[in-house]
Copies of this chain bind each other. A is one copy, B any other.
């Protein structure tokens, strides 16, 4: 799926705001060495950091890059220091609005933010406009239309309708803003099962380019109703990612040699059972 639909140099939206982060898809891109990419989303976690460490990322468009609740993104931090990563830095709300504008098919949306405080080069370049009715000064947040969205979700049917529930953040905004949508799911379900709960469908089949069944495809993040978040993995990543050589060996073990769903091969059956019944997982 990745081989057919992701090209070097493209702009990719990565789904998952803490929940349902598309690790399997992102790590497959690392394995295939598809480089020169621009990654975007509002709040990004260690999948961004891993892809930066693996050298496939040229540029990030973001509101936050780190290891939430744990600390900094160390590969991100080093790449900034080395000058090997271009930054286009917004805020989380600004990123959501950039994607919302893309999704709605307008070139910009107005917002009250970014008119005060220190600005990054990106936000300093944003246009200021006046509301034609009230005169209020607003920031014109430019639309963002990524080439490809990478999404992990609970389930899809054969036609490609995708059901995703639980924490969303900007996942659906980013998917619908994108030209193409690639999806991994925990399971493929019959069309009748999906159509019995149409409110859970968030991406309609005609917008979805390809779907693959990849259980555990969001590990170490979590999938509501399937498995909990592997917080220990996020904490471990902080330790291994502080040193570039250690991180490189870790990427060999966890990403390059298998990765994605298969990185769960490195967990014991007991580990997986514990995650399955963890908070957020199946009960």
Contacts and interface: CB of A to CB of B under 8 A. Distances in A.
Contacts of A166: 199
Contacts of A136: 107
Interface string A73-114: 000000000000000000000000000000001111111100
A132 B108 contact: yes
Tell me how many chains of this kind the complex includes: 2
A132 B138 CA distance: 12
Given A133-B140, A200-B199, A112 B105 contact: yes
Interface residues of A, number: 22
A132 to B, nearest CB: 4
A266 interface: no
A131 B140 CA distance: 8
A127 interface: yes
A110 B112 contact: no
Interface string A110-125: 1110000000000000
A140 B135 CA distance: 13
